[in-house]
Amino acid sequence: MKSTISWSVWSLTLAVVLAAPAALAPVFAGVQKGSVVGADRARPRIEVRLERVMAGDKPIDAGRPTDIGFLPVDGAQVLLASKHKAGELIAWDLESGESKVLLTVPEVATRGMEQGLVSFTFHPAFPEDRRLFTMHDSRDEQGWVSHLSQWVVDGTGFADLVVRDPKVILAVPQPQEGHNAGAVRFGPDGMLYQAFGDGGFQRDPHRRGQDTTELHSTIIRIDVNSKSDGLEYSIPADNPFVGKSDFRPEIWAYGFRNPYRFTWAPDGRLVEADVGQEAFEEINIVEPGRNYGWGVREGADCFSVTRKRRQECEAACAEGAAVYTEPIHHYARTEGMAIIGGEVPTGSAVPELAGKYVFADHVSKKLWAMDLPDPSVALTVGCGEDAPPKATVYALGKFGVVFISFGSTPEGDLMVGGFDGSIWKIVK
């Protein structure tokens, strides 16, 4: 999730964040109440609190949970979290307080801050289809590799839950240890979507952001219910680049820097949060076949770090050839430095959040919500120094949590994971 000018700046920033007292966000018996600071004072406010998630009578410590969710079985009070650097998927019985390791990914990479067990998701037909899918980074004799794997899950409750038989279905070599891979999720169409970043480290040095012959800087869409052409999956016939030269057919959309998390709104739109480089953090509605601009653009601007890339962007605009889809919202470094997306709640814990996209910033420790644009209005293609359409953003508060992930309860209410291993529910 690095989004700063250099590793040293990032390390210093993170050290300050972790060391800073949470004076602006007091904790009362496992509950945090946020404070409104800076530009958020001018925004509409939705008051929320963070309530610590407990297993039995003890607060959960998930060891940097990069993904959180529940076992998708009716009535099961089993919370799961990916323990990032350990490469473990942990389960907690929320009633008894017991916990256990369900799986440990082999040879998990831990050198880079972002590497480890990144994400997990169950097959949408679970428990009829017993598969679980994970994304993790490892290192072998060839270098860094991101692995999309499937596992078999036995049992339907905490006591008999067992995960076995891992199988890699897609491996993507990585040039460096940053911006490797993000969320793995099933869409409402039953297809599997996987996000990949540009492979790092900073400023897209390998120019992968616009290289569609590889899977870097993309969100891919594959069918894991069948196999074809020697693959462990098949390519959906309606993928936008099927049959087109110079495009991998798995690609659904491209031009992302570090698409750490994405989700689906209740109306079926894919919403993605892209961690920025030096100017903007951005939120996109992702549609098939679109180019979201990285490493030519950052946010809604031409990428200004190198003169050559700015000239490329400006020349394309002058010729009317720009094809970069605008974000629906971006924010500058005065607001935060690493966006953490994000979910649209469907539960009743905070009625004012219904239909809104909730997101956070890892460094500023702020939570926001925003209205998604009218789905009948087409996304715009940007050029030059454009600003994204005006979005209504609501301040939820600055908290004493270094946000690292989002998740949902079985009722559709939101949870957030903290860098310190804590998990919180967003409540009124």
Q: What is the pLDDT of residue 322?
A: 66
Q: What is the pLDDT of residue 353?
A: 98
Q: What is the pLDDT of residue 19?
A: 37
Which residues, in sequence order, are CB contacts of 23 under 8 Å at separation 6+?
none
pLDDT higher for 378 or 321? 378
**pLDDT tier, 9 (very low <50, low <70, confident <90, very high otherwise):** very low
Q: What is the pLDDT of residue 389?
A: 63
Q: What is the pLDDT of residue 1?
A: 47
The amino acid occupying position 235 is I
Distances from the Cα of 210 to the Cα of 28, 87, 231, angstroms: 48, 31, 25
Strands 49-52 and 54-55, bridge-based pairing: unpaired
The pLDDT tens digits for 135-190 are: 998 887 778 899 999 999 999 999 999 999 999 999 998 877 777 778 999 999 99
Q: What is the pLDDT of residue 22?
A: 38
241 close to 248: Cβ distance less than 8 angstroms: yes
Q: What is the pLDDT of residue 172?
A: 93
The pLDDT tens digits for 89-118 are: 999 999 999 999 999 998 887 666 677 899
Asked if residue 241 belongs to a domain, the reply is: yes
**DSSP per-residue codes, 327-391:** PSEEEETTT-SSEEEEE---SSSSGGGTTEEEEEETTT-EEEEEEPPPTTSPPPEE-SS--PPP-
User: What CA–CA distance (Å, rounded) separates 326 from 330?
Assistant: 10
* The pLDDT of residue 324 is above 70: yes
**pLDDT tier, 26 (very low <50, low <70, confident <90, very high otherwise):** very low
- H or E, element range at 307: helix 307-318
* The pLDDT of residue 124 is above 90: yes
- Domain count across the chain: 1
Whichever domain contains 398, its CATH number is 2.120.10.30
Nearest to 135 by CA among 112, 151, 119: 119
User: What CA–CA distance (Å, rounded) separates 404 from 93?
Assistant: 22
Q: Which two tokens stand for residue 290?
A: 């679109």
User: What CA–CA distance (Å, rounded) separates 275 from 336?
Assistant: 10
Asked if residue 80 belongs to a domain, the reply is: yes
Which residues, in sequence order, are CB contacts of 113 under 8 Å at separation 6+?
1, 2, 10, 178
Q: What is the pLDDT of residue 29?
A: 46
Asked if residue 246 belongs to a domain, the reply is: yes
Asked if residue 23 belongs to a domain, the reply is: yes
* The pLDDT of residue 16 is above 50: no
**pLDDT tier, 55 (very low <50, low <70, confident <90, very high otherwise):** very high
407 close to 69: Cβ distance less than 8 angstroms: yes
Q: What is the pLDDT of residue 111?
A: 65
Q: Which residues is 274 bridged to in the sheet?
A: 282
184 close to 168: Cβ distance less than 8 angstroms: no
* The pLDDT of residue 132 is above 90: yes
Nearest to 169 by CA among 198, 192, 153, 197: 192
144 close to 174: Cβ distance less than 8 angstroms: yes
Asked if residue 1 belongs to a domain, the reply is: no
397 close to 416: Cβ distance less than 8 angstroms: no
Q: What is the pLDDT of residue 329?
A: 93
pLDDT higher for 29 or 420? 420
pLDDT higher for 383 or 364? 364
Asked if residue 2 belongs to a domain, the reply is: no
27 close to 401: Cβ distance less than 8 angstroms: no
Asked if residue 271 belongs to a domain, the reply is: yes
| Full residue range of the structural domain in which residue 192 is found | 7-427
> Taking the model in full, what pTM does it have?
0.91
